[in-house]
Amino acid sequence: MTKMTVGQPIKRVEDKRFLTGRGKYTDDINRPGQTYAYIVRSPHAHAKINGINKAAAEAMPGVHAVFTGDDTKDLGGIPCGWQVHSKDGTPMAEPRHPMLAEGKARHVGDPVAMVVADTREQARAAAEALEIDYQELPAVSDTGSALGDGQPLVHDDVSSNLCYDWIIGEEADADAAIAKAHHVTEIDLVNNRLVANPMEPRAAIGEFDESTGEYTLHTTSQNPHVIRLLMGAFVLSIPEHKLRVVAPDVGGGFGSKIYHYAEEALVTWASAKVGRPIKWTADRSEAFISDAHGRDHVSHAKLAMDENGKFLALKVETTANMGAYLSTFAPCVPTYLYATLLAGVYTTPIVFANVKAVFTNTVPVDAYRGAGRPEATYLLERIVEKAAREMGLAQDELRRRNFIPADAFPYQTPVALQYDSGDYLATMEKAIELSNYESFEDRRQEAASRGKLRGIGFSTYVEACGIAPSAVVGSLGARAGLYECGQVRVHPTGSVTVFTGTHSHGQGHETTFAQLVADKLGIPMENVEISHGDTNKIPFGMGTYGSRSLAVGGVAIDRALDKVVAKAKKIAAHLMEASEADIEFENGEFRVAGTDKTTAFGDVALTAYVPHNYPIEELEPGLEETAFFDPLNFSYPGGCHICEVEIDPETGVTEVVGMTAVDDFGRIINPMIVHGQVHGGLAQGIGQALLESCVYDESGQLVTGSYMDYTMPRADNLPSYTVDDHCVPAAHNPLGVKGCGEVGAIGSPPSVINAVLDALNPLGVRDISMPATPMKVWQAIQDAKMSQAAD
């Protein structure tokens, strides 16, 4: 009998190649006759391009071609995959997003030209010889003021910088509840802009085979089929059967590699023009000004409560920065992935949100680990913390009074979602116990004796992931379906190759999916290979983001396995001369029920491909099945994160001394991988709360354009985590699985800030924005001292 692997912390099978430098990333691939592209980018946030003189650049050594917007203006623009409608029913403003600037550059880093040469150095040298006549224009970069009078317009054909003005819920109901409430807590918040910073910068190789008319694009993507669809159908007019997109090993994405980028289409299109493969690889500085950024909200919220602290209504107004152009998923992030989560884990009966999306002269903003849900969680958990202080209730007590009870599921929220399962009180109780919350005051006093301010902060959250239900997302504006595809190919000797439309770029799919397959077929994991990332191998796929790989892609594989087993049972019945209805399958063995007659999975596989003794009139030979899975609902992980910090009041340095995360993942396949995902998410959550911030100055120049100024979390910024779980199976997929990839980044930021505020509360500090850098904390302490002195 093969040992069951599901639920076991199996070491990741992909790690051998990653840890020994044998991974094969896009930049590791070199094609015969390959040339190199250098993208010339706007140094200005907003500029008219009066003309480009290519002559000198074209004459430089090794140069094959120089392309500008004049060359690409008749091709499609970079498409947006989601259409949001404003409250008056009008569709969002959707200005053209050209591959190369057409007369105007709209952000620092906006592609203006592409030089193709024999070597990277030649391409770059030629780029410096390009004469571009820029006429600088006033720029707008600040989210909160982008709609103000007299602001420069980002797009000439959009009459203001408004992309859409969207609402959910009934404003009048919220206003009425607020008007008669016992107490209303108000808060103003900024959710800081972030740069995803995957370890591997983006890269792309375009190639055209003149003899077949086929194009191939190797690219750093989280979803090669989506790139094939967007680029082939909307930008370059290449049909699917003539376009292959390969996303090989990819070194992290965090959302930033979901989107279709201009560079992908440029190298693909130009490879036919030049007649040679073209490689482009971003350097880190380029990544800062060309990878889609994340977050960037400015919000005002009101929470109405009765005399017992019971939430009556929440009203939220948010301005969300889209950047200069609409990236692939951008419009849905601050709407359907944000406002629909504003009920959170609470029974708030009335929720109203108004979201205005704005254009600015900045890099496009799109989904970044958590996408919308961290913004919702941050807003809710900050206002709940403030409400508890104003009501004189303990942090856990106010939450207890408002949690959706465990027996209330399925729970319909006032903002469209129906949560399928969860137990928010249980996760909080477990986190309280693991964090030693009860003895916190002792630790606070001990820290005080060392001159340190110690604080503890809560965050209780729910998120919607397993991004799927196609009908639902379609009704919300998605221009694609969000099912997933799995194909199981049983080979004649019983080994198995699984083709999945999801994409692993750090998540460990080659291990987790292999565990599923091994257990279901009763074969060793070593006999299972997981294949992904190539549109010529995988039937179809929507890729990996929104913590969807297992809850959607894993279930598709499971469904295909069901089909394999069903067919194999027929073959086994024939071999054992029994009725199909009497065949049982367990531990890799087919058995005639109630007898000791068995046949092994491998024998059945061989029979399927060597059908000498085979029910050929009823059954085709071969053993290979494909399934598509489109669940009826999202999955809803939730949990409680409790952070403990110590602050040095003289320097303002915040040290995270404890981080307890208790999350509900549904059924867990590999606890080591799940907890590893939580570790990474927490690092990014603590990063957002204390360290990371993407800052533009008023002229639209990126101030934090490198690691000299953009603070990435490092090991010594992070505590040793306490990670645990309390799981309730998901109701809308047969595996009962939820997601785990984003929870750390969704749940943790408010717990960190709430801990900082708890530490600073005795000094009179009531607010601090992310990231709570040493200078900001020090300044908040000085301001509070000044204010108290003035009193």
Partner 1 sequence: MSSFEYHRPTSVADAVAALGGGDEATVVAGGMTLLPTIKQRLADPSDLVDLSGVGEMKGISEEGGAIVIGAMTTHGEVASNPVVQAKIPALASLAGNIGDPQVRNRGTIGGSVANNDPAACYPAGLMAMNATVHTNKRAIPVDDFFTGMFETALEEGELVTKVSVPVPDKAAYIKFPQPASRYALVGVAVAQTGGAARVAVTGAGQDGVFRVADAEAALSGSFSPDALDGVSVDADGLNSDLHGSAAYRASLVMTLAKRAVAAANG
Closest CA to 77 of 43, 48, 45, 106: 106
Letters for 67-86 (x = contact with partner 1 by CB under 8 A, - = none) are: --------------------
Cα–Cα distance measured from residue 250 to residue 37, given in angstroms and rounded to the nearest whole number? 20
Q: Which is nearer to partner 1, 409 or 778 (CB)?
A: 778
Cα–Cα distance measured from residue 65 to residue 122, given in angstroms and rounded to the nearest whole number? 12
Q: Which is nearer to partner 1, 316 or 691 (CB)?
A: 691
Q: Please, are residues 69 and 14 in contact by the beta-carbon 8 Å criterion? A: no
Q: Which is nearer to partner 1, 309 or 652 (CB)?
A: 652
Cα–Cα distance measured from residue 496 to residue 516, given in angstroms and rounded to the nearest whole number? 12
Q: Which is nearer to partner 1, 408 or 703 (CB)?
A: 703
Cα–Cα distance measured from residue 523 to residue 156, given in angstroms and rounded to the nearest whole number? 62
Rule CB under 8 A: say whether 62 interacts with partner 1: no
| Beta carbon of residue 251, minimum distance to partner 1 (angstroms, whole number) | 20
| Beta carbon of residue 775, minimum distance to partner 1 (angstroms, whole number) | 5
Rule CB under 8 A: say whether 779 interacts with partner 1: yes
Beta pairing partners, 697: none
| Beta carbon of residue 150, minimum distance to partner 1 (angstroms, whole number) | 27
H/E element, 106:
none
Stretch that binds partner 1, among 204-212, 336-344, 500-508, 774-782 (CB under 8 A): 774-782
The b-or-e profile of 187-200 (16+ CB within 10 A means b, else e) is bebbbbbbbbbbeb
Closest CA to 315 of 347, 348, 346: 348
| Beta carbon of residue 360, minimum distance to partner 1 (angstroms, whole number) | 19
Letters for 211-240 (x = contact with partner 1 by CB under 8 A, - = none) are: ------------------------------
Q: Residues near 556 by Cβ (< 8 Å), separated by ≥ 6?
A: 483, 484, 485, 486, 500, 501, 627, 628, 629
Three-class SS of residue 12? coil
| Beta carbon of residue 151, minimum distance to partner 1 (angstroms, whole number) | 24
Q: Which two tokens stand for residue 454?
A: 């110690």
Closest CA to 98 of 222, 261, 256: 261
| DSSP labels, 172-233 | HHHHHHHHT-SEEEEEEEEE--EE---SSPPEEEEEEETTTTEEEEEE--S-HHHHHHIIII
Rule CB under 8 A: say whether 651 interacts with partner 1: yes
Rule CB under 8 A: say whether 199 interacts with partner 1: no
C-alpha torsion 646→647→653→654, nearest 10: 40
| Beta carbon of residue 686, minimum distance to partner 1 (angstroms, whole number) | 13
Cα–Cα distance measured from residue 319 to residue 354, given in angstroms and rounded to the nearest whole number? 8
Stretch that binds partner 1, among 205-213, 522-530, 571-579, 707-715 (CB under 8 A): 707-715
Stretch that binds partner 1, among 67-75, 519-527, 655-663, 706-714 (CB under 8 A): 706-714
Q: Please, are residues 462 and 666 in contact by the beta-carbon 8 Å criterion? A: no
Rule CB under 8 A: say whether 40 interacts with partner 1: no
Q: Which two tokens stand for residue 540?
A: 């179809």
| Beta carbon of residue 711, minimum distance to partner 1 (angstroms, whole number) | 4
Instruction: Determine which residue in the list 188, 703, 762, 787 makes contact with partner 1, applying CB under 8 A.
Output: 703
Cα–Cα distance measured from residue 710 to residue 693, given in angstroms and rounded to the nearest whole number? 6
| Beta carbon of residue 782, minimum distance to partner 1 (angstroms, whole number) | 8
| Beta carbon of residue 267, minimum distance to partner 1 (angstroms, whole number) | 23
Instruction: Determine which residue in the list 422, 652, 658, 747 makes contact with partner 1, applying CB under 8 A.
Output: 652
Closest CA to 104 of 149, 54, 139: 139
Q: Which is nearer to partner 1, 169 or 685 (CB)?
A: 685
For 455, other C-beta atoms within 10 Å of its C-beta total: 25
Instruction: Determine which residue in the list 650, 698, 767, 783 makes contact with partner 1, applying CB under 8 A.
Output: 650
Rule CB under 8 A: say whether 691 interacts with partner 1: yes
| Beta carbon of residue 125, minimum distance to partner 1 (angstroms, whole number) | 8
Letters for 448-487 (x = contact with partner 1 by CB under 8 A, - = none) are: ----------------------------------------
Q: In the range 139-178, which residues lie near partner 1 by CB under 8 A?
A: none
Stretch that binds partner 1, among 75-83, 133-141, 709-717, 761-769 (CB under 8 A): 709-717
Q: Please, are residues 398 and 384 in contact by the beta-carbon 8 Å criterion? A: yes
Rule CB under 8 A: say whether 695 interacts with partner 1: yes
Order the strands of the 35-41 sheet from edge to edge: 63-68, 111-117, 35-41, 278-281, 203-209, 214-219, 243-246
Going by the DSSP 8-state scheme, the letter that residue 345 receives in this structure is: T
Rule CB under 8 A: say whether 707 interacts with partner 1: yes
Instruction: Determine which residue in the list 19, 199, 712, 786 makes contact with partner 1, applying CB under 8 A.
Output: 712
Q: Which is nearer to partner 1, 637 or 713 (CB)?
A: 713
Rule CB under 8 A: say whether 710 interacts with partner 1: yes
Q: Which is nearer to partner 1, 290 or 402 (CB)?
A: 290
Q: Please, are residues 507 and 545 in contact by the beta-carbon 8 Å criterion? A: no
Stretch that binds partner 1, among 131-139, 204-212, 427-435, 778-786 (CB under 8 A): 778-786
Going by the DSSP 8-state scheme, the letter that residue 466 receives in this structure is: S
Rule CB under 8 A: say whether 774 interacts with partner 1: yes
Location of structure tokens 């889209």: 322
Stretch that binds partner 1, among 69-77, 196-204, 239-247, 705-713 (CB under 8 A): 705-713
Handedness of CA 279, 283, 289, 291 (dihedral sign): positive
Stretch that binds partner 1, among 68-76, 207-215, 648-656, 669-677 (CB under 8 A): 648-656
Stretch that binds partner 1, among 196-204, 342-350, 617-625, 701-709 (CB under 8 A): 701-709
Q: Which is nearer to partner 1, 15 or 650 (CB)?
A: 650
Rule CB under 8 A: say whether 787 interacts with partner 1: no
Q: How many residues bind partner 1 (CB under 8 A)?
A: 21
Instruction: Determine which residue in the list 153, 436, 778, 784 makes contact with partner 1, applying CB under 8 A.
Output: 778
Cα–Cα distance measured from residue 214 to residue 268, given in angstroms and rounded to the nearest whole number? 11
Q: Which is nearer to partner 1, 43 or 774 (CB)?
A: 774
Stretch that binds partner 1, among 71-79, 244-252, 399-407, 767-775 (CB under 8 A): 767-775
Rule CB under 8 A: say whether 418 interacts with partner 1: no
Rule CB under 8 A: say whether 769 interacts with partner 1: no
Letters for 87-126 (x = contact with partner 1 by CB under 8 A, - = none) are: ----------------------------------x-----
Q: Which two tokens stand for residue 456?
A: 């503890």
Closest CA to 373 of 476, 471, 294: 294
> Residue 169: left (phi > 0), alpha (psi -120 to 50), or beta?
left
Rule CB under 8 A: say whether 598 interacts with partner 1: no
Instruction: Determine which residue in the list 708, 715, 789, 790 makes contact with partner 1, applying CB under 8 A.
Output: 708
| Beta carbon of residue 708, minimum distance to partner 1 (angstroms, whole number) | 4
Closest CA to 107 of 289, 297, 356, 368: 289
Cα–Cα distance measured from residue 306 to residue 387, given in angstroms and rounded to the nearest whole number? 11
Rule CB under 8 A: say whether 18 interacts with partner 1: no
Half-sphere exposure of 131 (CA within 13 A, CB side): 6
Stretch that binds partner 1, among 415-423, 666-674, 677-685, 703-711 (CB under 8 A): 703-711
Binding site for partner 1 (CB under 8 A): 121, 128, 650-652, 691, 695, 703-704, 707-712, 773-775, 778-779, 782
